[in-house]
Structure 1
Amino acid sequence: MKTRNYLFCTFLLLSFLTKAADKATYRGTVFLDLNKNGVMDKNESGLEGVLVTNGKEVVRTNDKGEWNLVSNHQSEYFYVIKPSGYQVPVNKNQIPQHYFYLTSENKTTGSIDFPLYKTEDENKFSVVVFGDPQARGKREMNFIFHDAVEELIGTDARFGISLGDIVADEPEMMDDISAGIARIGIPWYNIIGNHDNDRDAKTNEERDNTFERLFGPSTYAFEYGQVAFIHLNDIYFNKNGKYKPHFSDQQLEFVKNYLDRVPQEKLVVLMMHAPLVACDNRDKMYELLQNRKHSFSISGHVHEQVNLFIDEEMGWKGETPHHHLINATVCGSWWCGVNDELGIPHATMNDGAPNGYSIVTFAGNKYSVRFKAARRPENYQMNIYMPDEIEANSLDTTKVLVNVFAGSERSVVEMTVSGTDKWIKLGKKDQIDPQSLKVHLLNPYLEKEIEGAALEDILGFKMDYPSVSTHMWEGYLSQDLKPGTYNLSVKTTDMFGQTWTANRIFRIKE
């Protein structure tokens, strides 16, 4: 018995010593890079109070800008959480270089230093947000550039973000797409989506390899103005290659450790690919956020635009509901639909909203969102559906239907007819967008062949059956209208106080 106990104790001791040997302390300095050469020169000093993390623990630099973290991982990222008033270097594709990737091959006993440049953060600034560019091959990569990127060149936005599904299962294309988006001329952050992973990888961690080689860690944070941005990889693959929206324990611990160091008056913005409400352990993330007064979150993935207000019925226990935006997609409905005169599909999303992106404007710890349809005027914010010609005795049964692309339950939608001063409030009613259904019903024609070629190869790809849109309003015209030609004006005011109008001319017959 004594021999068995001795052997067991020896085994425990050896296990402890082995684990201790695996651990190592890594050190570095965050410094003000005056000449922007990426090296800490003798005349350059460290920056105190800057946060550095290994994706789990979060530490502050001391008065010399020094930090240290213990690691026992074979591979691990160390990165600086860019503070407000500073910028990190970017590479040729405008990708922020805020990280160092430690592997068994490049383990170092030297200093891991992070350069920062001094900037002037505005209290009010804008950010471009792309959902799902999702290119299948170079043809669709060029759709991204011609449909969305080119019109953003010269933007005054401070940086941009892609919310995942940059590609459609071809991760080797992400570098070329990144190079095109870089022509906008602003720093660009990326989030990984379920179609960005390495398909042949054996483990969930290995599926990020190409993404991380190009863009750095798939979960990270940075600050600008009065806003703390947290970018999360919420796509988890099991050993069978199936994925689910999920936050890992390490991510949750990182968010907790970081938020413990973020002042309550700052706005916290979570960015991810799959919607927050779809994550199987979303309640754990709610617990980290719900006691903060200022929070907002954005995702993509769904190919619809939806404003969700997460409340107590959905598991949120904060004083007020949490706003989660499922962002518009650049690819719309996967670059499907009839091609226009430039050969680019109309790519309407499944809810009838056009493909596009968001411009999010921050002012202190407040924010507002403006939807921008690709290659359309800024004020193109709705479609009005009604007959061009109406029988006078059918006015009471003729429906006016309006799809307000970025509308929500907090939007107000009203209409008025020329020659009257009466505004009629429309009622919100979720339903299928009629034009989306009409385009979907053209699918059988696209399947036909002409001289051996399917028409969809020429005119565009078939569309999925449309979804029920969450931003539809309906109402009826006044029965007092006389025969003649009229203009119907529709006005919508959103949750941020932004007002948009649209017009439609119609006729009333005897």
Structure 2
Amino acid sequence: MKMNAIFALLLSTLFMSSGVARETVFYISGTVRDTSGRGVRDVVVNDGVNFTRTDNQGRWSLRTDTVVSKYISISTPAAYRLPSSDGIASGFYCRVGQAIAGKCDFTLEHRKTVADRFHYIAISDPQVGTHEDMRRWRLETMRDIRHSVDSLNHDAEVVGIALGDMVFDNMPLYADYIESVKNTGMTMFHCIGNHDFDCRWQDLHNMRLGTPVYGEMEYNRHFGPTDYSFNIGRAHVITLKNIDYAGNKKYQELITDQQIAWLKRDLSYVPKGSLVILNMHATGWNTGEENDNIRNARQLEEALSGYRVHVFCGHTHLYQNVEVNGNLYQHNIGAACGAWWKGKINRCGTPNGYLIVDVDGKDVRWHYKSTGYPLSHQMYVYKPGEFASQPGCVVANIWDYDSGCRVSWYQDGKYMGTMERFTAVDDQYGSHFSRCGSCAATSHLFRCHPQGRFKKIRVVFINRFGEQYSASLYNKE
């Protein structure tokens, strides 16, 4: 097989008039084996374009165009542990250059028990741009996350995903970021965001064919391919780049046609009706700031048709749940850095934080974890007169609201009904950061008008899982 690869290289290498190689195609082969050396059959292998499965001996082969494909990766089966090094996902991919030099072999470790249940921690936009940002990320966010992982690990495996913008256009900070997420007790995966590219270059598909440099090279060096998948429990998990990067911090939110084709090929190995978790950086279906959505969300929705899908994304520095259709739910998660580490809230008033997702078979439940607060902190309530645009009203900001939730209120112990939902700029954010020009109207605000004098107002939030949270205001007059 190695001689075939060399022969293919000689036959397929074409030269332009300048003598620079324009296209090189290889036949690349390898194996997937378990830790005892036995071949693992039916493992899906891809090079970013072409797919295959391992045979009964765990062998695979792909015809790979190295101008287009830079990585070979496997979709780890649910019966095997997710490969990692120091708690960061690795060992599921191989650089094409390494594969050409020798065989591209993967080793998987059998799980002692295969469970349907696991925890999933989704983190949006750490976006560390300075050493002060890094200090806060380590001491605030990661300290909180490590405590959560320690607690969650008692009853199920924990998997983490950073949904892009790990750094803020500052490539040297990757090293510090990586140190900060090592050995957390969970397997940590990554997704590329618009600030994770080296701004000197466009991304690979926008550069000239055969380019030796491209925008996602630094990300690739640390985390491997931008598009990949794995399996855990009864879920198929996909991470997909959705930033079309033009260099010099310019981009558009877009999934290329080639990536849509890759997604369809990846899903062709997954039975219809399965639970699919999709990680991507930019949103697909937000309302209110549609310009931040990917340009071809409809095309993505069609590709996901027939599966039960939860999409986790960031990018906007606000929190919004979107029920796209009966089988497609988007979680736009509040940023870990909030409003770029200016304070402790996002543009919609949601505290800095991350999402804890509990998956049991096909059942998916989630809770937003505000950094530095207990998990029960699910709302912020303004006293009458504190929310400038709503004089006389009690206002509740309930970030994890969706149509399956209920928000009601009580005055001095008496049930007064449901609170009225409205859209506005959160007052905490607007009063402190309006000068930055980054205010965002949010629709997870609720108001009520107390009747006369009161001693106590109680706001009750019941989420779609029937869990109840409450917050109370007291009038000391």
Question: TM-score with structure 2 length normalisation?
Answer: 0.85
Q: CA deviation at 1:266?
A: 1.8
Question: Of residues 86, 104, 107 in structure 2, which corresponds to 1:112?
Answer: 104
What CA distance in whole angstroms lies between the structure 1 residues aligned with 2:187 and 2:355? 16
Bigger radius of gyration, 1 or 2? 1
Partner of 2:223: 215
Q: Is the 8 A contact 2:200 2:248 kept in 1?
A: no
> Does residue 309 in structure 1 map to residue 304 in structure 2?
no
Q: Measured at CA, do residues 399 and 77 of structure 1 come closer, stay the same or move farther in structure 2, by a change above 3 Å?
A: same
Q: Measured at CA, do residues 70 and 377 of structure 1 come closer, stay the same or move farther in structure 2, by a change above 3 Å?
A: same
Two-structure CA RMSD over aligned residues (Å): 2.5
- Secondary structure at the aligned position of 2:196 is classed as coil
Question: Of residues 444, 449, 458 in structure 2, which corresponds to 1:489?
Answer: 458
Q: Measured at CA, do residues 161 and 239 of structure 1 come closer, stay the same or move farther in structure 2, by a change above 3 Å?
A: closer
> Does residue 289 in structure 1 map to residue 289 in structure 2?
no
Q: CA deviation at 1:93?
A: 5.4
Q: Measured at CA, do residues 388 and 505 of structure 1 come closer, stay the same or move farther in structure 2, by a change above 3 Å?
A: farther
Deviations 1:250-308 (A, max 9, x none): 2111111111110123201111001123111222211111233x111111000000011
Identical pairs, percent: 25
What CA distance in whole angstroms lies between the structure 2 residues aligned with 1:440 and 1:220? 38
- Secondary structure at the aligned position of 2:311 is classed as strand
Q: Measured at CA, do residues 26 and 381 of structure 1 come closer, stay the same or move farther in structure 2, by a change above 3 Å?
A: same
Q: Which runs of 5+ in 2 are unaligned?
A: 1-10, 15-21, 206-213, 286-292
Q: Is the 8 A contact 2:83 2:108 kept in 1?
A: yes
Q: Measured at CA, do residues 253 and 434 of structure 1 come closer, stay the same or move farther in structure 2, by a change above 3 Å?
A: same
Question: Of residues 428, 440, 448 in structure 2, which corresponds to 1:475?
Answer: 448
Amino acid at match of 2:261: E
Question: Of residues 53, 64, 78 in structure 2, which corresponds to 1:60?
Answer: 53
What CA distance in whole angstroms lies between the structure 2 residues aligned with 1:467 and 1:301? 13
Q: CA deviation at 1:94?
A: 2.3
Partner of 1:383: 380
What CA distance in whole angstroms lies between the structure 2 residues aligned with 1:276 and 1:397? 35
Q: CA deviation at 1:496?
A: 3.2
Partner of 1:181: 181
Deviates more, 1:354-363 or 1:195-204: 195-204
Q: CA deviation at 1:122?
A: 2.4
What CA distance in whole angstroms lies between the structure 1 residues aligned with 2:46 and 2:241? 16
Question: Of residues 50, 58, 66 in structure 2, which corresponds to 1:73?
Answer: 66
Q: CA deviation at 1:322?
A: 2.3
Q: Is the 8 A contact 1:167 1:195 kept in 2?
A: yes
Q: Is the 8 A contact 2:70 2:96 kept in 1?
A: yes
Q: Which runs of 5+ in 1 are unaligned?
A: 1-15, 35-43, 312-319, 338-346, 390-395, 444-462
Partner of 2:92: 98
Q: Measured at CA, do residues 406 and 321 of structure 1 come closer, stay the same or move farther in structure 2, by a change above 3 Å?
A: same
What CA distance in whole angstroms lies between the structure 2 residues aligned with 1:248 and 1:279? 10
> Does residue 416 in structure 1 map to residue 410 in structure 2?
yes
Q: Measured at CA, do residues 229 and 478 of structure 1 come closer, stay the same or move farther in structure 2, by a change above 3 Å?
A: same
Q: Measured at CA, do residues 474 and 217 of structure 1 come closer, stay the same or move farther in structure 2, by a change above 3 Å?
A: same
Deviations 1:202-232 (A, max 9, x none): 5545100000000000111111101111101
Question: Of residues 214, 238, 245 in structure 2, which corresponds to 1:237?
Answer: 245
Q: Measured at CA, do residues 263 and 351 of structure 1 come closer, stay the same or move farther in structure 2, by a change above 3 Å?
A: same
Deviations 1:408-438 (A, max 9, x none): 2332101112343x24211211112122222
What CA distance in whole angstroms lies between the structure 2 residues aligned with 1:383 and 1:83? 42
What CA distance in whole angstroms lies between the structure 2 residues aligned with 1:107 and 1:388? 65
Q: CA deviation at 1:377?
A: 1.3
- Secondary structure at the aligned position of 1:414 is classed as strand
> Does residue 335 in structure 1 map to residue 345 in structure 2?
no
- Secondary structure at the aligned position of 1:290 is classed as coil
Deviations 1:11-30 (A, max 9, x none): xxxxx966799432211111
Amino acid at match of 1:78: I
What CA distance in whole angstroms lies between the structure 1 residues aligned with 2:423 and 2:40? 53
Q: Measured at CA, do residues 351 and 17 of structure 1 come closer, stay the same or move farther in structure 2, by a change above 3 Å?
A: closer
Q: Measured at CA, do residues 295 and 25 of structure 1 come closer, stay the same or move farther in structure 2, by a change above 3 Å?
A: same
Partner of 2:163: 163
Q: Is the 8 A contact 1:150 1:184 kept in 2?
A: no
Q: Measured at CA, do residues 202 and 298 of structure 1 come closer, stay the same or move farther in structure 2, by a change above 3 Å?
A: closer
